[in-house]
Structures are given as C-alpha cells and as structure tokens.
Structure 1
Amino acid sequence: MTIDTNDILNSILESLDHVDYIRPEEIPNIDLYMDQVTTFMDDHFSSTKRYSDDKILTKTMINNYTKNNLLPPSVKKKYSREHMLLLILIYYFKNILSIRDIETVLKPLREKYFSGDDMIQLSDIYKEVCEMEKSRIEPMKASVQEAYEKSRSAFADMPEGEDQEKLKLFAFICSLSFDVYLKKMMIEKIIDELSAKEKEE
C-alpha cells in the first residue's frame, strides 16, 4: 500500500477552507419542537460527520444537556433561537470537553444572556466568537503545513520505502495530536480556575 502523504495534507488544507459556521440569521425566527431542532442540526452539520450513521443531535442528547444544566429547559416543548445557539456551541465543545466543563464554560451565557434582556444578545456573542474563529483558519493552515514539513524530515536514517512513509505519517499525526493535547490542557486549566473562583465567591 502506497501512502501519498502529500494528498493527505492537501485534503486537510482544503477541508479547512470549507470550515464555516451557522449564522444566527439561518436559525428560524420561530420556536421549534424537538424534532425540528434535531432536523435543523442534522441538515446544517451533515458535512461534519465522520461516518454516515453518526448522530449530530438526538432527543436523548438534548434531554441530557438540560438535565446537566448545559441548556435551559424548553418552554411548552419548544426551543428558542437562544436554545439553538447554545446547542451549536455544545456541539463544538463536546468533542474535546466533558459535560461538566461545558456546563462551566456556558454558565455565564445561560445565566446572563439567554433571556435576551441584556444589551448584548446571545446571538451577538455567538457571531463575534465565530468570526474570530474564522480568522484563525489561515494561521492554522500554516501551522499544519509546518507540522507536515517537520514530519517529512523525521526518520531520515531509515531506508526509503513504505515503512519510512508510515512512520513519517505517524510523526505528523503525533505533532497534530500534541497541539490538541496542549490546547485541551490549557482549556481545562482555565476552567479549573473559573470553578475555583466560583467556589470562593
């Protein structure tokens, strides 16, 4: 089996070009029933599925998020635009953070901005954060490219061939994983500080 690592890199960089977010104006202006919520999420996040049978959001997940204080309860079995914005944020966080950590991170949004009574709306916060994240795509591509180039110089003492290519690819995966590990560690450190401060207060 021949591994074309260049193709893998190009595929990764191309996929980063297509990263986008659901804009607040794309969310229906009416409150939605649970089935409509899951359908909306499935439709908008289908391209992020790794496997075709992956579930983006289920009724059980929504109930679990409410039970664990990530999401305020529905009103008369309907979910508002604010519910939808929190569900989108939960979707992004759940791949790297525990339920407890997500609860801590989203607490200020739930408590202060969910009702829509504040001068700053939850949709404004969501939009600002997403735009900021979009600006991170180009630096991320440069970082991935650099990790790839460094991995290409790994295992130079080995004879050229399939085994060397596999180890170079392994080095690339390790480099990307290390970035994720360090960032996750930093996020958890911030969350721990937030939790400790809350307990003091």
Structure 2
Amino acid sequence: MEKRRPLIDKQILQNQIQVEDIPKIDLYIDQVIQLFETGFTESKRNDKEKILTKTMINNYAKGKLFYPLHSKKYSRNHVMLISLIYQMKSVLSINDIKQVLDGINEKAAQQDLDLQPFYTSYLHIQKGNIESFAAELERQEEEVAKQMQKAGDMEEFEQVLLIASLVHTSNLYKRAAEKLLDGMNERVES
C-alpha cells in the first residue's frame, strides 16, 4: 500500500486561524468570512466548498453559539469562538456546541473576557493532536497492509479497510467528546 504521508502533508492539517492572524480591530461579517477562507483554504475538499458563509454565521448567532455582537462587528473573541464552532460542527450538534460554549459566552457577555490565552492553549493542543494523528495514521496503514497480505492483497479492499478503520477511530473520539459533554450537563443540572 502506498504511504499516506504525502496525503497528510497535502491536507496541511495545521490549517487554523492563528492568534496573530486575527486583526486587533473588530470585523464585519465579510471580513470574518475572508479570514476563514484564507486560514482554512487548504482543508477544503474541493474548490466549491465554502468554509464559512453569512448564513452559517447568522445561524450561529441566532442559536446563541456566541455572545451578542456590538454594532454588527465581530471582536477577536468572536473570531476565536467561531473558529471553535467551525471545528466542532463536523462532530457535535449545534445544541451540543451551544452547551459546550455556554459558560464561556456567559462570562464574555458579562465582562471584557480575553479568550486569547485559552485559544492559544487550544492551538497548542491541536498541534500535538496533529503529530499524534500522523503517527496513528501510519500505524493503521501498516496494520491494514499486514492484514491485507494475509487476506490476499487487493488494493480496493485495502483502501476500504483503511477508511473503515479511520471512521471507527473518529467515532471513538466523537463518543468520548459526547461523554464529556454529558458530564458537563450533569454538573449543570445538579
């Protein structure tokens, strides 16, 4: 089986809005969308895919996934929260995301809360996750190749087996995140 390492490099898994990429002035919605299109362009599956749209952002606002805007402008904190929402939305429901971010939004709405230290920690952890993912992907590729040698090396089956393995791993992480969220909900209800 061919090595997937070039696939990892091509995807540029470290696509993210870095703290230094976020202007120190408040942004209008079109500027936020452009910032995300630039920051996540390499992670698009194809050229037609949109990273973020006005409708998405407006739905996040209506769903109270982030605290209210001032003068229709998005602060640095809003951009950081939208980045978190962007990452979470492929795994968690909108209601789950709202529950995860409720405490942060409450504090941000009540006072001038600087999310930069939290967001910087998040980016640091992401970097470690990428390194772990690359090693785990390589391990899974090797295991799939080994199993397929036993079964009679058929390239299509090998790819299907690797895809199934990756999806399973993804589901394990999703379930772990949901268990943590359920624990948060239990503490709030107590």
- TM-score, normalised by the number of residues in structure 1: 0.86
Q: CA deviation at 1:117?
A: 3.3
Q: CA deviation at 1:47?
A: 1.4
Aligned amino acid, residue 138 of structure 1: E
Q: Which runs of 5+ in 2 are unaligned?
A: none
Q: 2:105 aligns with which of 65, 88, 110?
A: 110
Q: CA deviation at 1:123?
A: 1.0
Q: Which residue of 2 aligns with 1:6?
A: 2
Q: 2:181 aligns with which of 162, 171, 191?
A: 191
- Are residue 95 (structure 1) and residue 85 (structure 2) matched? no
Q: Which residue of 2 aligns with 1:132?
A: 125
Q: Is the 8 A contact 2:12 2:43 kept in 1?
A: no
SS in 1 for 2:38: helix
- Aligned partners of 1:77 and 1:147: how far apart in 2? 47
Q: Which residue of 2 aligns with 1:150?
A: 143
Aligned amino acid, residue 125 of structure 2: M
Aligned amino acid, residue 111 of structure 1: E
SS in 2 for 1:42: helix
Equivalent residues, number: 190
Q: Which runs of 5+ in 1 are unaligned?
A: none
Q: Which residue of 2 aligns with 1:166?
A: 156
Q: Is the 8 A contact 1:17 1:137 kept in 2?
A: no
Larger radius of gyration: 1
Q: Is the 8 A contact 1:20 1:134 kept in 2?
A: no
Q: Is the 8 A contact 1:154 1:171 kept in 2?
A: no
- Cα 1:32–1:41, aligned 2, differ >3 Å: closer, same or farther? same
- Are residue 85 (structure 1) and residue 80 (structure 2) matched? yes
- Cα 1:49–1:57, aligned 2, differ >3 Å: closer, same or farther? same
SS in 2 for 1:54: coil
Q: Please list the CA deviations of residues 109-168 of structure 1 after superposition, one character each: whole Å capped at 9, or x if unmatched.
A: 2122466635xx2011000111122123222211111100110022435444xxx11111
Q: Which residue of 1 aligns with 2:23?
A: 28
Q: Which residue of 2 aligns with 1:53?
A: 48
Q: CA deviation at 1:171?
A: 1.1
Q: Is the 8 A contact 1:116 1:122 kept in 2?
A: no
Q: Is the 8 A contact 1:114 1:122 kept in 2?
A: no
Q: Which residue of 2 aligns with 1:176?
A: 166
Q: Is the 8 A contact 2:60 2:66 kept in 1?
A: yes
- Aligned partners of 1:49 and 1:115: how far apart in 2? 36
Tell me whether 18-27 or 103-112 shows the greater mean CA deviation: 18-27
